[in-house]
């Protein structure tokens, strides 16, 4: 039933209003706290699917910067393994469902924090992953823009991050290539992967610098590891001063 509502009723009757409301909330959250400068927006196609792979620096500001810069609607793949109780879990899942943001669990985060709370299990990790991969691929099939943070963890997070300093990057996890492969198989077309760099200048009002690079196509690489490493390097370069 939820899948049906997500794929039919919400987009047809209220998706424009949902998108407008989310942008308004993002603008309110950013007011006086974050200013965004963006370059390379022309690398995002005006129509059709695109997968943006971005640096993950700040748990909140990354999303606010994307809302400030991106004219097209986009859908972020998000993790909710950080929640501490059922009420917050229900709220986050509901919001993500309304926004059509694919929701997953990071296996290491669940193992570290949540098995003891009873919120999530090992089986949930696999179930959420299947659902997130399927939902993200379907969004691409529907000509949407999907944003994913392949590092999984931001540099700045109120709960936990394995990053040891504010300049560190984590190796990209390859799950987004599965999403891309599933969507390209369904559409029989190449879907552009757009690397996105992020850096910040802290202050009373932070400044975000978002830079999108030229699209990369999976079909040009016979070795997925080579593609993964190339995208890591592009994102690093785009995030540099």
Q: Is 177 helix (H, G, I), strand (E, B) or coil?
A: helix
Q: How confident is the model at residue 5 (pLDDT cuts 50, 70, 90)?
A: very low
Given this model, what pLDDT does residue 117 score?
Answer: 61
Measured distance CA(216)–CA(227) in Å, rounded: 9
- pLDDT band of 115, cuts 50, 70, 90: low
SS3 string of the chain?
CHHHHHHHHHHHHHHHHHHHHHHHHHHHHHCCCEEEEEECHHHCCCCCCEEEEECCCECCHHHHHHHHHCCCCEEECEECCCCCCHHHHHHHHHHHHHHCCCEECCHHHHHHHHCCCCCCCHHHHHHHHHHHHHHHHHHHHCCCEEEECCCCCCCECCCCCCCCCCCCCCCCCCHHHHHHHHHHHHHCCCCCEEEEEEEEECCCCEEEEEEECCCECHHHCCCHHHHHHHHHHHHHHHHCC
Phi, psi of 56 (to 5 degrees): -115, 105
Exposed, middle or buried by CB within 10 Å (0-12, 13-18, 19+), for 89? Answer: middle
pLDDT tens digit sequence for 209-221: 999 999 999 999 9
- pTM for this model (two decimals): 0.92
Q: What is the CATH number of the domain that holds 136?
A: 3.40.1130.10
The predicted pLDDT at position 35 comes to 98
Chain centre to alpha carbon of residue 114: 22
pLDDT at 13 over 60: no
Give the whole-angstrom CA distance, residue 135 versus residue 3.
Answer: 9
Q: Where are the beta strands (DSSP E) in the chain?
A: 34-39, 50-54, 74-76, 78-79, 103-104, 145-148, 193-201, 206-212
Question: Can you give the length of the chain in residues?
Answer: 241
The count of structural domains within the chain is 1
In this prediction, what percent of the chain has a pLDDT beyond 90?
Answer: 84
What is the pLDDT averaged over residues 123-147? 96
Q: Which residue range(s) make up the domain with 139?
A: 2-239
């Amino acid at each position: 039933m939820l899948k049906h509502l997500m794929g039919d009723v919400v987009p047809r009757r209220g998706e424009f209003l949902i998108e407008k409301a989310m942008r308004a909330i993002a603008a309110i959250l950013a007011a006086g706290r974050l200013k965004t400068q963006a370059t390379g927006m022309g690398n995002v196609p005006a129509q059709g699917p695109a997968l943006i792979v971005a640096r993950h620096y700040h748990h909140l500001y990354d999303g606010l910067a994307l809302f400030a810069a991106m004219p097209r609607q986009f859908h972020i793949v998000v993790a909710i393994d950080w929640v501490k109780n059922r009420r917050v879990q229900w709220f986050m899942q509901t919001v993500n469902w309304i926004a059509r943001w694919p929701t997953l669990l990071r296996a290491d985060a669940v193992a570290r924090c949540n098995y003891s709370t009873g919120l999530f299990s090992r089986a949930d990790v696999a179930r959420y992953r299947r659902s997130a991969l399927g939902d993200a691929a379907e969004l691409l099939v529907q000509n949407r823009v999907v944003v994913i943070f392949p590092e999984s963890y931001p540099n700045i997070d109120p709960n936990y991050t394995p990053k040891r300093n504010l300049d560190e990057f984590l190796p990209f996890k390859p799950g987004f290539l599965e999403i891309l492969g599933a969507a390209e198989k369904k559409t029989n077309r190449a879907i552009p992967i757009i690397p996105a760099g992020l850096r910040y200048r802290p202050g009373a009002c932070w400044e975000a610098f978002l830079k999108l690079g030229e699209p990369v196509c999976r079909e040009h690489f016979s070795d997925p590891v080579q593609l993964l490493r190339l995208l890591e390097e592009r994102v690093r370069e785009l995030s540099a001063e």
